[in-house]
């Protein structure tokens, strides 16, 4: 157990709630749901921190932010100092403050967690980042003198951006190649506007640009130029190409019109701004009854997007509420907004109309049996419980494989069974010299912060390697 400072202090277990848009209002707009702490709320929350001598929260953070350090700055109102502490370890604080699963990471390690009053670390991080965004002059991180060495980063998502931020500070020349027409990866194409406003992502990307990171969009490494060609120009390469082909359940009717993968639905909506069609030119249908299959964060994002476009939306999940893999906060938000949850329900097939559009889905109800390999109670079908749900769109949000482009175009790179690039967990080193990899292309679908953590470790390893060259 962590030691607590000797000054006697009454424990305050009341977490300060963050103001949010009312559910009945926000279900009709794409503005951000959570509104953020005011300075007073932030200070009040920071003052609850016990400032442990051996803070466990830091160990729960994949990028090792000095959490008590920045909270101390908030207590004293020195927000500029706080942001310096944050940015020392995290180049995307406004993003992480919003989308990290803090309840499983830093906040779960907080000494007050056992009593149910853990410090709202994520909200405080977000507060500082948003405070900084409102300042006229951004304070720039110190950059070490040039090493003269060049790094290429493949993929402009959270893990690539982290590597870029770390390496540029160490004096390397950094270039990011992004396949899409906008930087940010999943932060731009995947996470909806109401959870992570795109202006925030652009701001973080612009900050890296201002530090001197070169960025090329519309550049598909593997196709436009291969990894091996890049190696003739760069001293090291980091691959963070993220998500790939969506999974489907292999049940009848999945290629009917109106059945989307989560990747397609979210890309249409977020990167291409389909919800503003026809002002933005990528079309999206206006659906009346949407079913989202899956129970993760991506499923919640899809469902809440469909709801905002006016559809009656339900989540179809084969296990029960207790097993939902989504963040509790997101599931609660979804429920408040009016998403219908069909737990213990398994899709069997989709039924189309005469024009090839999905009109109904057939499902089987389940009950929980014995625990399976994952430790969760296994859902078992209830015989004869087939039921039909009328739908005009289905979004399949059950995961995806790692992106296939680099694995299929780079000889000598060891590829795992799931199509992932094999890389050392601690260093991100691949089986080829001068090539590192991290994020979803290594682990399969995971979280933004884990991708960032992998980027941090790889950056350290690349630096070690290049320092000895």
Residues that bind another protein (CB under 8 A): 179-181, 189, 218-220, 223-225, 242-246, 248, 250, 254-255, 257, 260-261, 263-264, 267-268, 271-273, 276-285, 355-356, 400, 403-405, 408
Token pair 């260093």 in the structure block, residue: 427
Question: Closest separation between CB of residue 442 and another protein, Å?
Answer: 16
237, β-bridge pairs: 152, 435
| Measured distance CA(123)–CA(110) in Å, rounded | 14
Q: How far is the CB of 257 from another protein (least distance, A)?
A: 5
CB of 347 to another protein, least distance (A): 16
Shortest distance in whole angstroms from residue 302 CB to another protein: 13
Q: How far is the CB of 211 from another protein (least distance, A)?
A: 24
Nearest to another protein of 209, 378 (CB atom): 209
**Lookup result for tokens 């993003």:** 95
For residues 388 and 363, what is the distance between their CA atoms, to the nearest angstrom? 6
Specify the residue, 181 or 321, whose C-beta has the smaller distance to another protein. Answer: 181
On whether the CB atoms of residues 70 and 54 are closer than 8 A, the answer is: no
Kindly tell me which of 136 and 250 has the beta carbon lying closer to another protein: 250
CA–CA distance, 26 with 20 (Å, rounded to integer): 9
Residue 245 and residue 404 in contact, taking contact as beta carbons nearer than 8 Å: yes
CA distances to 141, 143, 185, 304, 339 from 87, rounded to whole Å, are: 8, 13, 21, 31, 37
- Judged by beta carbon, residue 83 or residue 239, the one nearer another protein is 239
Q: For residues 203 and 225, which CB has a smaller minimum distance to another protein in the complex?
A: 225
Of 254 and 329, which has the nearer Cβ to another protein?
254
Instruction: CB nearer to another protein: give 119 or 180.
Output: 180
Give the residue with the Cβ less far from another protein, 102 or 263.
263
Q: How far is the CB of 384 from another protein (least distance, A)?
A: 30
CB proximity list for 141: less than 8 A, separation 6 or greater: 87, 169, 211
Helical H segments across 134-234, by residue range? 158-169, 186-189, 198-210, 227-231
Q: Are 91 and 208 in contact (CB under 8 A)?
A: yes
Q: How far is the CB of 222 from another protein (least distance, A)?
A: 9
Question: What Cα–Cα distance (Å) separates residue 428 from each residue in 12, 231, 397, 433?
Answer: 41, 17, 28, 12
Give the residue among 199, 145, 207, 205 at the shortest CA–CA distance from 178. Answer: 205
- Using the minimum distance from each CB to another protein, give the nearer residue, 285 or 378: 285
Number of C-beta neighbours around residue 414 at 10 A: 12
Q: In angstroms, what is the minimal distance from the CB of 235 to another protein?
A: 21
CA–CA gap between residue 343 and residue 322 (Å, rounded): 10
Matching residue, tokens 């960032």: 452
User: In the structure encoding, which two tokens stand for residue 143, read together?
Assistant: 């950059």
CB-nearer residue toward another protein: 47 or 409: 409
* Smallest separation, CB 272 to another protein (Å): 7
Q: In the complex, what is the shortest distance from the CB of residue 261 to another protein, in angstroms, rounded to a whole number?
A: 4
Q: Are 191 and 32 in contact (CB under 8 A)?
A: no
């Amino acid at each position: 157990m962590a030691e607590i400072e000797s000054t006697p202090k009454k424990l305050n277990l009341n977490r300060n709630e963050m103001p949010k848009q009312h559910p009945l209002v926000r279900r009709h707009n794409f503005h951000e749901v959570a509104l953020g702490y005011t300075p007073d709320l932030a200070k009040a929350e920071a003052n609850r921190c016990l400032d442990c001598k051996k803070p466990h929260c830091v160990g729960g953070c994949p990028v090792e932010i000095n959490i008590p350090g920045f909270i101390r700055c908030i207590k004293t109102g020195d927000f500029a100092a706080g942001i310096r502490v944050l940015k020392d370890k995290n180049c995307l604080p406004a993003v992480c403050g919003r989308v990290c699963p803090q309840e499983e990471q830093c906040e779960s390690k907080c000494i007050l967690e056992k009593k149910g009053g853990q410090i709202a670390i994520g909200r405080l991080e977000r507060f500082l980042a948003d405070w900084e965004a409102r300042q006229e002059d951004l304070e720039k991180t110190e950059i070490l003198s040039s090493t003269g060495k060049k790094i290429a980063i493949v993929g402009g998502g959270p893990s690539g951006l982290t590597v870029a931020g770390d390496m540029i500070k160490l004096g390397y020349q950094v270039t990011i190649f992004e396949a899409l027409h906008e930087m940010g990866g999943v932060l731009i194409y995947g996470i909806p506007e109401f959870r992570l406003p795109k202006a925030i992502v652009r701001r973080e990307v612009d900050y890296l640009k201002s530090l001197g990171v070169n960025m090329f969009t519309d550049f598909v490494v593997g196709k436009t130029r291969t990894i091996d060609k890049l190696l003739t120009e760069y001293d090291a390469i980091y691959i963070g190409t993220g998500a790939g082909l969506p999974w489907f359940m292999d049940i009848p009717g999945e290629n009917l019109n109106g059945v989307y993968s989560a990747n397609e639905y979210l890309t249409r909506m977020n990167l291409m701004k389909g919800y503003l069609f026809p002002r933005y030119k990528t079309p999206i249908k206006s659906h009346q009854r949407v079913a989202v299959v899956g129970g993760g964060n991506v499923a919640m994002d899809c469902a809440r997007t469909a709801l905002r476009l006016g559809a009656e939306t339900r989540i179809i999940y084969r296990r029960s509420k207790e097993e939902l893999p989504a963040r509790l906060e997101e599931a609660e938000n979804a429920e408040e907004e009016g998403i219908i949850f069909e737990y213990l329900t398994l899709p069997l097939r989709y039924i189309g109309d005469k024009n090839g559009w999905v009109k109904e889905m057939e499902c089987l109800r389940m009950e929980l049996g014995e625990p399976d390999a994952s430790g969760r109670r296994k859902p078992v079908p209830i015989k004869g419980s087939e039921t039909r749900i009328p739908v005009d769109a289905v979004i399949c949000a059950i995961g995806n494989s790692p992106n296939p482009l680099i694995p299929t175009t780079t000889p000598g790179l060891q590829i795992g069974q799931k199509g992932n690039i094999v890389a050392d967990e601690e260093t991100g080193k691949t089986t080829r010299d001068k090539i590192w990899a991290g994020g979803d292309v290594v682990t399969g679908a995971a979280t933004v912060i884990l991708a960032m953590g992998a980027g941090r470790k790889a950056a350290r390893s690349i630096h070690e390697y290049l320092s000895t060259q």
